[in-house]
Structure 1
Amino acid sequence: MQTFDRLIALDGAHNVRDLGGYLTADGGSTRWRSILRGDALHALTAADIENLVDQGLTTVIDLRSESEITAEANPFTGHDRVSYHNTSLFGAMAPLEMMADAISSFDMGHRYCRGLDECQPAIAEVLGKIADAPDGAVLFHCSAGKDRTGIISALLLANAGVEEKTIIEDYALTATISGPLISLLRERALQRGIRPTVADVVLASEPASMLRALAHISATYGGARSYLSAIGLSDAAIDRLASRLTA
């Protein structure tokens, strides 16, 4: 039986990993090399790109803002074998550092709950693109592969029947595998004048933050499937999202 590594080793990215291999409530498991999550891809080498294509990549969905893409262009734009899409996620919200600076008890769970409530059209657009993507692997990513990417990952895994504990563990993996990336992002934040304590909160991958987001989905919307329905996805699209990970 073929085995897969969760973290895909690349020279130009630190946090590209697979959502496969997680147990589901019905006793099955999520499918490998179907849906990938990641950090910014601008530094990928030609060998990195070929590696991803060889592993079945056919669709890339960039969750970053226009300004982020202008500063660090996506190498899959115009690629002849990979379809590239951009949907800015959380772009309608106040800058993250402002939120963290304004609330003494802030953790990233604040951001996630507000994003789930305030950015529903963008979330629906991203998930719709995943549901409608052609055969092959879909890779969605942001800058660190932690927050925007984490919310989409959580919704996909929950909809596929992965238990809450596993979803939280998947979220927290960023802290253990992406040390160099987080250090770089922290240094950039400090250079922009962000207070160290705020930078540390913003860049953390605390399990409690994802727990808070999942609790919000359950308490406010009745669970992941009900949330996806509430933001406008059809039953057929929701089923395609689940089958993409479990079939």
Structure 2
Amino acid sequence: MDLPDCVNARDLGGTPLAGGATIRMRALLRSDNHDLLTEAGIAAVRELGVGRIIDLRHGWEAREFPSPFVDDEIYRNLPLLGVYPGFDPTAPDDYRPEVDHAPERVAAAFTAFAEAPPGPVLVHCHAGRDRAGIMTAIALAVAGASHEAIVADYTATEGAEAKTMQDLLDHFDSEHGGVPAYLANGGVSPHHLTAVRERLTGVPGQDS
């Protein structure tokens, strides 16, 4: 997507699913933080008809680098992750301890996605790599994307290593029984899982 001056802005539409299906266009969008958007970029977001912006940054980040949409009804600041015991910001990327530490935060962001009004849902963090990568990976997994497809989207972001996302997806499977089970344990309802799946695929389904 062309959202001046955003980076890592893209539509997840076209991501392959099982059976030859794909994620719908303009259902799930991702980007970096919006405080550098030009007037043209702000107008471009509005022209997309975005139904909800989910800002996954910490509260202090949202205050220091405010979104131009902060006063809009579509905007939600829902910090995805907390600082877990033993957190080391200098360590190599590893999202597994983070998602284990903050299932209720992940569930809150996912629920906001599920309850979004019509229109694309745009998720972002600061750089558009880590927290946005986790959230989009979770949404794609719920929709039925393979690990390979999720990793391919993640590594389209500069600096993102395939192993980081593959380790996270394997962790969801081995330690939590899969992404839907992880979300359910965090408080996400079957109705919300179904709502996101339908939103991303366009295929009606029964509650999981």
The CA deviation at 1:92 is: 3.5
RMSD value, Cα: 1.5
2:171 paired residue number: 216
Q: Deviations over 1:207-228 (max 9, x none)?
A: 0010000000000111122122
Gaps of 5+ in 1: 1-7, 176-203
User: Which structure has greater helix proportion?
Assistant: 1
Q: Work out whether 1:28 is the aligned partner of 2:21.
A: yes
1:236 paired residue number: 191
Gaps of 5+ in 2: 203-208
Instruction: Show the 5 A alignment for 1:51-130.
Output: 51-79=44-72, 83-93=74-84, 99-101=88-90, 106-109=91-94, 112-130=95-113
Mapped to 2, the partners of 1:163 and 1:229 lie a distance apart of 20
One-letter amino acid of the counterpart of residue 108, structure 2: E
Q: Deviations over 1:37-86 (max 9, x none)?
A: 1101001112211112212212111111122122211100113xx51111
Mapped to 1, the partners of 2:130 and 2:193 lie a distance apart of 22
Would you say the 8 A contact 1:24–1:161 is kept in 2? yes
1:136 paired residue number: 119
After TM superposition, the score normalised by the length of structure 1 is 0.78
Q: Size of the alignment, in residue pairs?
A: 202
Q: Deviations over 1:17-49 (max 9, x none)?
A: 111101111321100111111101001112211
Would you say the 8 A contact 1:33–1:56 is kept in 2? no
Give the secondary structure class of the aligned counterpart of 1:173.
coil
The CA deviation at 1:100 is: 4.7
One-letter amino acid of the counterpart of residue 104, structure 2: P
The CA deviation at 1:91 is: 2.6
The CA deviation at 1:94 is: 5.8
One-letter amino acid of the counterpart of residue 211, structure 1: Q
Give the secondary structure class of the aligned counterpart of 1:116.
helix
Give the secondary structure class of the aligned counterpart of 1:26.
helix
State, as a whole percentage, how many aligned pairs show the same letter: 34
Q: Which has the larger radius of gyration?
A: 1
Identify which of 158, 161, 186 aligns with 2:144. 161
Would you say the 8 A contact 1:12–1:42 is kept in 2? no
2:128 paired residue number: 145
2:161 paired residue number: 206
Mapped to 1, the partners of 2:156 and 2:199 lie a distance apart of 22
1:49 paired residue number: 42
After TM superposition, the score normalised by the length of structure 2 is 0.92
Mapped to 1, the partners of 2:89 and 2:40 lie a distance apart of 38
Mapped to 2, the partners of 1:14 and 1:119 lie a distance apart of 27
Mapped to 2, the partners of 1:69 and 1:239 lie a distance apart of 30
The CA deviation at 1:9 is: 1.4
After the TM superposition, which segments of 4 or more aligned residues of structure 1 sit over 6 Å from their partners?
Answer: none
One-letter amino acid of the counterpart of residue 70, structure 2: T
Would you say the 8 A contact 2:57–2:79 is kept in 1? yes
Give the secondary structure class of the aligned counterpart of 2:76.
strand
Q: Work out whether 1:15 is the aligned partner of 2:2.
A: no
2:206 paired residue number: none
